[in-house]
Amino acid sequence: MRILLTGAAGFVGSHLAERLLREGHQVLGVDNFCTGQRQNLEYLTPFAGFSFFEADAERPLEVAGAFDWVMHFASPASPPRYLKMPLETMRVNAEGTRHLLELALARKAAFFLASTSEVYGDPLVHPQPETYWGNVNPIGPRSVYDEAKRYAETLTLAYRRTYGLPVRIIRIFNTYGPRMDPEDGRVVTNFIAQALRGEPLTVYGDGSQTRSFQYVDDLVEGIVRLMAVDYPEPVNLGNPEEYTMLELARLVQELAGTSLPIAHEPLPQDDPKQRRPDIRLARELLGWEPKVPVREGLLRTIAYFKEKGTIGRLP
Ligand code: NAD
Ligand code: UDP
């Protein structure tokens, strides 16, 4: 198949592109490097089926030829990053999604949207099934991401209903692994970078808020399985293994072999208090469930950052 993938230089995009290339598909990667890393393309350029186009996915893409899939993964994803780029984040998820839906329609391709567990906002239902409508503050700082992704889902399903366009939508829960940007400000990268630098780990608030962490290979497996199934509505992909941020901090310290005191910092506005995926739909529809336990995935991620030497040496 020939696949257009936006966000190919990002963390998830580069793993997904590599998997698709290994399966023998052709991938045209698109990225503007606003949060991605050029070095992530080094995993892709050895494949003959890979080509790359540096462009802003907010605007219509001037790309030639037929595609089987248009997959939209471009968007700032870490809260500190999307808070610094509020309008860019809204545009790539709103206008960018519309242009890519139009492209899919024109080239008779199927469309795949990377949405997020953030559509559930600060959830009042726990764990979160796809049928939960969410609890999003529409004017809070996080809304530039949450509401833009919600709009992208709405638009995608409107194209499906209006034109019969084949679509897939995934709601990705906190995903981590090698190739993340150590400076992106997300909790896993912050904790690992701080532990490897011998600095105190920064826990926001009292650390009682929870998240559930999925290793990137599990996510990619779920994506590939969903491509093979005709199901247009959103599907949660995440690992239900749930941790408080204090528990996660202690686990990272244990695995990295450090034991400095925790530094508490203010909790960001509208930070969700709890998050855990209900993955019954993915289990039934795709025969999928996460395989990599958090402890194992964190060890692999720590090993990657040590090997890359991008964070500094262990104390
Ligand atoms: P990332 O920041 O590593 O990757 C995003 C990529 O998109 C980057 O390479 C960036 O340069 C590119 N990009 C952003 N805006 C662009 C634009 N206008 N034009 C072209 N390229 C642009 O983040 P990620 O974690 O790999 O996230 C990938 C996708 O998955 C995003 O859509 C994100 O919202 C979604 N997602 C990720 C997670 C997670 O935990 N990693 C959770 C939920 C949703
Ligand atoms: N967090 C933290 N310390 C950090 C970075 C984040 O305690 O150095 C917390 C953050 O407040 C949130 C959770 O970790 O409760 C996950 O944050 P992240 O930015 O990774 O993603 P989110 O799930 O909020 O989008």
Neighbours of 161 (CB within 10 A): 11
The yes-or-no answer on residue 145 being catalytic is: yes
Ligand (nearest to CA of 211): 2
Total number of domains constituting the chain:
2
Q: Are 146 and 153 in contact (CB under 8 A)?
A: no
Mean pLDDT (the chain, rounded): 96
- What number is the average pLDDT over the span 47-76? 98
Test site for ligand 1: of 28, 35, 39, most ligand atoms within 8 A of the Cβ: 35
Pick the catalytic residue from 82, 120, 145, 176: 145
Residues 115, 223: Cα–Cα separation, whole Å: 12
Residues 8, 47: Cα–Cα separation, whole Å: 14
Q: Do residue 9 and residue 67 come from a single domain?
A: yes
Percent of the chain with pLDDT over 70: 98
Has residue 313 been placed in a domain? no
Residue 250 scores a pLDDT above 70: yes
pLDDT one-digit tens code per residue, 105-126:
999 999 999 999 999 999 999 9
Q: Are 268 and 230 in contact (CB under 8 A)?
A: no
Q: Do residue 108 and residue 184 come from a single domain?
A: no
Has residue 49 been placed in a domain? yes
CATH of the domain at 76: 3.40.50.720
pLDDT value at residue 7 = 98
pLDDT value at residue 308 = 83
Q: Do residue 130 and residue 53 come from a single domain?
A: yes
Residue nearest to atom 39 of ligand 1 (CA): 175
Distance 159 CA to ligand 2 centre (A): 34
112 three-class SS: strand
pLDDT value at residue 259 = 86
Dihedral sign for Cα atoms in the order 250, 215, 58, 165: negative
Q: Do residue 111 and residue 15 come from a single domain?
A: yes
pLDDT value at residue 268 = 97
pLDDT value at residue 311 = 63
Q: Do residue 10 and residue 158 come from a single domain?
A: yes
Q: Are 234 and 169 in contact (CB under 8 A)?
A: yes
Has residue 246 been placed in a domain? yes
pLDDT value at residue 292 = 98
Q: Do residue 102 and residue 116 come from a single domain?
A: yes
**Residue numbers of the domain that contains 224:** 2-175+214-237
Residue 315 scores a pLDDT above 50: no
pLDDT one-digit tens code per residue, 67-106:
999 999 999 999 999 999 999 999 999 999 999 999 999 9
Report residue 279 CA to chain centroid gap.
17
Q: Are 34 and 88 in contact (CB under 8 A)?
A: yes
Distance 88 CA to ligand 1 centre (A): 12
CATH of the domain at 249: 3.90.25.10
Ligand (nearest to CA of 8): 1
Q: Do residue 31 and residue 129 come from a single domain?
A: yes
pLDDT one-digit tens code per residue, 252-309:
999 999 988 899 999 999 999 999 999 999 999 999 999 999 999 999 999 999 988 7
Query: Which atom of ligand 1 is nearest to 8's Cα?
Result: 9
Neighbours of 228 (CB within 10 A): 7
Q: Are 181 and 189 in contact (CB under 8 A)?
A: yes
Ligand 1 contacts (CB < 6 A) are: 6-7, 9-13, 30-36, 56-58, 73-77, 92, 114, 116, 172, 174-175
Q: Do residue 70 and residue 193 come from a single domain?
A: no
